[in-house]
Amino acid sequence: MNFLQSLADRERVFDFLAPAASPVDVRHGPILYLEDVSVSFDGFKAIDALNLTIDDGELRCIIGPNGAGKTTMMDIITGKTRPDAGSAWFGSRHDLLTMNEPEIASLGIGRKFQKPTVFEALTVFENLELAMAADKRILPTLTARLTGEVCERIEEVLATIGLIELRQAPAGILSHGQKQWLEIGMLLMQRPRLLLVDEPVAGMTEQEMERTAELLTGLAGKGKQSVVVVEHDMGFVRSIARTVTVLHQGSVLAEGSMERVASDPKVVEVYLGVEGEVA
């Protein structure tokens, strides 16, 4: 093994074992706090005085009609879009509006986009391994010798996402649902504190949806992850939701239990009623 490689191994193990340099502080408040956040695109207010608070370990569902601002909200949290006004805090210590995308990601905010972006030619195991080293651009990844700790973490994540048996399968042969789980697993390799998940069950079978509900509810919890799920499928939201936030025209229209928001006349009018989804 050459020097660079052994250095790479050491650094990866160190990264893996070390706590985040400046961990999120949730002792006295929420893990995510958005206050009066607004952003306009060409004079159109996509986000309009948005207030949102996510508690540590919470699983929150965000619903709302197309164009409500759900994706823009995630763009703001992850630093992709800078708001015109307002504040955004990760715990009480980190002002997200002073940080760029990689800095925010390294704080432990992981985002899963709607389409799976796994590496199809690599095995499930290799995809997870690569995710662990994702921010080590210049260092060897797949060729590096795996340390016990990294292997353990991969096994742990494989169990969480239910792909133990498929660890040596090329990701290309996975079903759509399994690819989505693998991608969630790739995010988990970095031990995120907050996971943002955009429409996870679109295109999934009924059985895959059930499994995804179990996975997401299992991930959320104190000392584990906080999870924010944007989802259109009302059956799915109903099956996992504790608190539901309804976005409309860039701000919060209603918030509460699924039963409560589903029977709110404002919600029925702008969203659920239109879709004929209120049961």
Q: Is 70 in the site for ligand ADP (CB under 6 A)?
A: yes
For the sheet with 85-90, list strands across it: 44-54, 32-41, 85-90, 94-95
* The token pair that represents 202 in the structure block: 């679109």
* The token pair that represents 231 in the structure block: 């989802």
**CB 67, min distance to ligand ADP, A:** 4
Q: Is 113 in the site for ligand ADP (CB under 6 A)?
A: no
> Do 258 and 244 touch, CB atoms closer than 8 A?
yes
Q: Which does 219 bind (CB under 5 to 8 A by kind): Mg ion, ligand ADP, none?
A: none
- According to DSSP, residue 172 is labeled G
Between 70 and 111, CB nearer to Mg ion = 70
**CB 75, min distance to Mg ion, A:** 10
Stretch that binds ligand ADP, among 9-17, 59-67, 125-133, 219-227 (CB under 6 A): 59-67
Q: Is 64 in the site for ligand ADP (CB under 6 A)?
A: yes
**Pick from 30, 34, 69, 71: which binds Mg ion (CB under 5 A)?**
71
Between 108 and 200, CB nearer to ligand ADP = 200
Spatial distance between the Cα atoms of 78 and 97, rounded to a whole number of angstroms = 10
Q: Is 78 in the site for Mg ion (CB under 5 A)?
A: no
Q: Is 83 in the site for ligand ADP (CB under 6 A)?
A: no
Q: Which does 108 bind (CB under 5 to 8 A by kind): ligand ADP, Mg ion, none?
A: none
* The token pair that represents 201 in the structure block: 């069950």
Spatial distance between the Cα atoms of 24 and 32, rounded to a whole number of angstroms = 10
Spatial distance between the Cα atoms of 246 and 225, rounded to a whole number of angstroms = 22
Q: How far is CA 5 from the centre of its chain?
A: 31
| Number of residues counted as binding ligand ADP (CB under 6 A) | 10
Residues that bind Mg ion (CB under 5 A): 70-71
